[in-house]
A = this chain, B = another copy of it.
Amino acid sequence: MEILKTVSEMQAWSDNIHQKQNQICLVPTMGYFHEGHLSLMEKGKEFCPDLVVSLFVNPTQFGENEDLDSYPANIERDVKLAEKKGVSVVFMPDKKEIYPDGFQTYVELTKLPGHLCGLSRPVHFRGVATVVTKLFNIVKPDVAIFGSKDFQQLQIIRRMVKDLNYNIKIVGCPIVREDDGLAMSSRNAYLSPEQRQIALCLSKSLEKAEDMILNGEKITSTVKKELASYIKSFSFTEIDYISICDPETLDEIGDGDINTADPLLIAMAVYVGRTRLIDNRIINPVQ
């Protein structure tokens, strides 16, 4: 396994692979690997043997009051885990390599970021779309793998790839959960033991919502109210949003507008203490 730190080394490696008519798969990450990341690498290996994992804590996707400086890291462990998974290259640039002096070009979407996490994290998806565009031009992948815990991110990447005509297959992978249901996240490391228990309210309330809708509840505001009151019953919690929306457009589904022919997305962001957690579930309503 190679560890590459500069754009030009990475581009040269990728050009060499392509000259041999081989394909490249990219798994973009911010490091501090958990089972979720490892599942993306496993999926990547199914597509091509030449698997690149990028490891870069991208400053432009953090707002001013967010956790850029405290974001958990363990590069030595990450490198070992990547090697075990059969990764070909860990691309690990420093911030100046990605954002040199005078940097001023951003990729922005006009609609999808105006929902869910984009509302409380106004610069987040601009940063994500920009760094992913850069990684696509640096790594030149044929396939790129993303988790679906940040479902909005996945949809934004899909739209961006289509809009900017990248010839890259985007693969979304299921959320990986702890045995008790908590969605895996690098940010779970911030939780105290007590908060770790409380954090289960996200996955449990998604199950609750699925039950209500599968049992015929058509009034989305009723489902959201029920979830909100359940989550608020735990100490340390503060709801950022609970949304029931169209998985493609992310537009909210109004009371009575549930169309049993289409899947819907239930997504939420909840603070547990100072840690902001997200989770979501796609539901196929039945008649």
List the B side residues contacting A11 at CB < 8 Å: 165, 167
Kindly supply a per-residue 1/0 record for chain A positions 152-188, scoring 1 wherever the CB is within 8 Å of any chain B CB and 0 otherwise. Answer: 0000000110111111000000000000000000000
- Given A137-B167, A138-B165, A164-B134, CB of A107 within 8 Å of CB of B110: no
Q: Chain B CB within 10 Å — which of A103, A105, A106 has the most? A: A105
Q: Is A119 an interface residue (CB 8 A)?
A: no
CA distance A104 to B158 in the complex (A): 12
The answer to whether A112 and B108 have CB atoms under 8 Å apart is no
The answer to whether B105 and A129 have CB atoms under 8 Å apart is yes
Q: Is A7 an interface residue (CB 8 A)?
A: yes
List the B side residues contacting A105 at CB < 8 Å: 107-110, 129, 159-160, 163-164
CA distance A18 to B14 in the complex (A): 14
Q: Is A85 an interface residue (CB 8 A)?
A: no
A52 CB to nearest B CB, Å: 14
The answer to whether A112 and B104 have CB atoms under 8 Å apart is yes
Shortest Cβ distance from A140 into B: residue = B167
The answer to whether B110 and A106 have CB atoms under 8 Å apart is yes
Report A's interface with B, CB cutoff 8 A: 7, 11, 18-19, 21, 100, 102-112, 129, 133-134, 137-138, 159-160, 162-167
